[in-house]
Amino acid sequence: MSSSRSALGVLVRYVGPQWKRATLLAALLLSSIGLQLLTPQILRAFLDSAQSQGALSTLVRFAAVYLAAATAVQFLTAGATYVGADVGWTATNRLRADLMRHLMSLDMSYHKERTPGEMIERIDGDVTALSNFFSQFSVRVFGALLLLFGALTVFWFEDARVGLVVTLFAAFTLFVLLRVRRVGVEPTRQEREASAKLYGYIEERLTGLDDLRALGAGGHALRGFLAVQRDFFWKSRRAWIARSTVWQLSFILFALGYVGVLAMALGLYAAGAITIGTAYLYYQYMTLIEDPIDQLTQQLQELQKAGASLIRIGELLQLRPALQEGTLELPSGPLELQFDRVSFAYGEAPVLSDVSFTLGVGRRVGLLGRTGSGKTTLTRLVSRLYDPTAGAVRLAGLDTWELRTESLRSRVAVVTQDVQLFQASVRDNLTLFDDRVDDALVEAALREVGLGDWLAGQPDGVHTRLQAGSLSAGEAQLLAFARVLLSDPGLIILDEPSSRLDPATEALLTQAMERLLAGRTAIVIAHRLDTIARADDILVMGDGRVLEFAPREELAHDPHSRYSALLRAGRLDLEEDEAPQADQATGVLS
């Protein structure tokens, strides 16, 4: 019953705002059900009149009324189905949007533990299972219950003995079906979980397709896919068998029910207690009882799917982000950044330990350190993807946990080497689908980063659709710079990309980067010495600690500083060093 209560709770929450359309739906349903209950009465009158040699005009009149009523039922049912589907899909689309919003608010730790494929299955697969149920729930379930109640009422009105027997039969059938409906919930939940794993596996392999091909791992990936697909197949089969128990049992029970009703009708007709029209009336109303219960049993199968999906969605909606929302706003202009005795750990693994430094307003710091030294984690704390386990991170003198997330993310921009571009227009890629940004601002940002000539060559200007793989690495980075310019942040975190580019593109990118960082506070994760040469300060990380932090000129002239040793070594890209230089630089950063 918990899944039923959850389903009804979700229905009320998301259908409630659509009460006008729900009222129209109720009117269509009541009108349709009233006519369905009327048509067997017309047939009875027609048969009794025909048996008693009634006038032809009377029979024609009955036939015309019956055809008109049957046609009206079809139109009313179609209208109710349309309105019900509209209400149901609108409700579940709102649920899908709320679920997406909730997932986006969860901590990075949650997303790190799950693949994008699993998230897609949660948002789309589970909600689709609900939409299939809710889009027909009002028409098939509420309508079926009303029709069932009406048909039983007519039975009682015609003959209390027959009404009692049929009522007991209907109650027994519903009781049995309600008792067995839970059989399919757990197998269906396991089916949805297996589906999520299948989507996750496919997504991961498609993402790494180039590496799989290059390393000859196609066979291994295919064997893994077959194992995941096999698990999904057997769990789907088991879930289908469990769900089919309901309608198989319904078929057997109604076969017995029809035999009972026909036996009673024939007995009463043979005894002269009822007419042939009334005997046929009993059969017709028995179909009006079977159809609603049949609809209910079908919806019980959908309810089993919906119940399993609701369990998973409910578990997801119960998750709460560890990062609590603040209330303060960041000021405009460049921001001061302060780390005050900050420590951080992923679970039990410490990553940062007692990190303290202050980056002044409008200053640019070059962040250096070996792989695993804590550089990326430090920048994630600035963006508040995580909160420190100890100490405080402050922007403009305000602790990050005190700030509204939207304010922080709008004032702190991050540019990574792997630029995320969408198969959408240039404008949508730069504004992130914000219709409020004027086209002139988008064009100005593109010219500012040196993409004016590139924009002039696009057939539809900023409305040209970007195709997958149509941009070079340098062009993608410049588009990312333009995206940041549009947001006008006060602090920029830049994973400097020039190590992957040819000299000509690197020179263009360097000019754009200078314009981007001008008048803003910046953290640059450095890969080249010439990038560090333009920094105001240098921060050297090692094993999660600050090994060195001071103005660049001061460290460059200090023969005992680590930065000075790196300058003498001549490289920062340690992974690409020749062996002697690598040994020298590695010793410096240890």
Give me the chain's average pLDDT, please. Answer: 83
Rg (CA), the chain: 35
Tokens at 358, concatenated: 């202050």
For residue 399, the cross-strand partners are: 394
Q: Based on the domain organization, do 255 and 353 belong to the same domain?
A: no
Q: Based on the domain organization, do 72 and 29 belong to the same domain?
A: yes
Residues 33-72 as b/e (b if ≥16 CB within 10 A, e otherwise) read bbbbbebbbbbbbbbbbeeeeeeeeeeeebeeebeebeeb
Of 285, 318, 351, which residue is a domain's last?
A: 318
Q: Predicted confidence band at 366 (pLDDT cuts at 50, 70, 90)?
A: very high
Average pLDDT of the segment spanning 13-35: 82
State how many domains the chain has.
2
pLDDT score of 236 more than 50: yes
Residue 228 covered by a domain: yes
Of 253-267, 330-344, 394-408, 426-440, minimum mean pLDDT range: 253-267
Of 290, 318, 346, which residue is a domain's last?
A: 318
Residue 283 covered by a domain: yes
Query: Which pLDDT score, from 0 to 100, does residue 9 have?
Result: 60
Query: Which pLDDT score, from 0 to 100, does residue 589 have?
Result: 55
Residue 31 covered by a domain: yes
Reference 190, options 304, 348, 345, 343; nearest CA is 304
pLDDT score of 573 more than 50: no
| Residues 434-457: tens digit of each pLDDT | 888 999 999 999 998 888 889 998
Of 318, 346, 380, which residue is a domain's last?
A: 318
Distance between CA atoms of 586 and 369, rounded to whole angstroms?
Answer: 9
CATH number for the domain spanning 354: value is 3.40.50.300
| Residues 457-490: tens digit of each pLDDT | 889 999 999 876 678 878 888 898 999 999 889 9
- What's this model's pTM, rounded to 2 decimal places? 0.64
Q: Predicted confidence band at 585 (pLDDT cuts at 50, 70, 90)?
A: very low
Residue 582 covered by a domain: yes
Residue 464 covered by a domain: no
Q: Based on the domain organization, do 346 and 312 belong to the same domain?
A: no
Distance between CA atoms of 283 and 208, rounded to whole angstroms?
Answer: 63
Tokens at 538, concatenated: 């240098």
Residue spans of beta strands (DSSP E) within 114-191 = none
Q: Which domain holds residue 480?
A: 337-421+471-589
Question: Apex CA 32: angle with CA 28 and CA 38, to 5°?
Answer: 150
Q: Based on the domain organization, do 291 and 343 belong to the same domain?
A: no
- Give the torsion through C-alpha atoms of 252, 279, 142, 175, to 10 deg: -40
Distance between CA atoms of 352 and 583, rounded to whole angstroms?
Answer: 24
Residue 196 covered by a domain: yes
Q: Based on the domain organization, do 168 and 309 belong to the same domain?
A: yes
Q: Based on the domain organization, do 87 and 220 belong to the same domain?
A: yes
Q: Based on the domain organization, do 313 and 345 belong to the same domain?
A: no
| Residues 136-184: tens digit of each pLDDT | 665 677 778 888 888 888 889 888 888 899 899 988 887 887 777 667 7
Pair type for strands 337-346 and 349-359:
antiparallel
| Residues 47-79: tens digit of each pLDDT | 888 888 888 888 899 899 989 999 999 999 888
Q: Based on the domain organization, do 476 and 523 belong to the same domain?
A: yes
Q: Based on the domain organization, do 350 and 484 belong to the same domain?
A: yes
Residue 84 covered by a domain: yes
Query: Which pLDDT score, from 0 to 100, does residue 575 have?
Result: 38
Tell me whether residue 402 is exposed, middle or buried, using C-beta atoms within 10 angstroms of its C-beta: 0 to 12, 13 to 18, 19 or more.
middle
Helix (H) or strand (E) segment spanning residue 356: strand 349-359
Q: Based on the domain organization, do 138 and 179 belong to the same domain?
A: yes
Q: Based on the domain organization, do 410 and 294 belong to the same domain?
A: no
Residue 433 covered by a domain: no
Helix (H/G/I), strand (E/B), else coil: 494: strand
CATH number for the domain spanning 200: value is 1.20.1560.10
pLDDT score of 499 more than 70: no
Q: What is the DSSP letter of 454?
A: H
Q: Based on the domain organization, do 304 and 405 belong to the same domain?
A: no
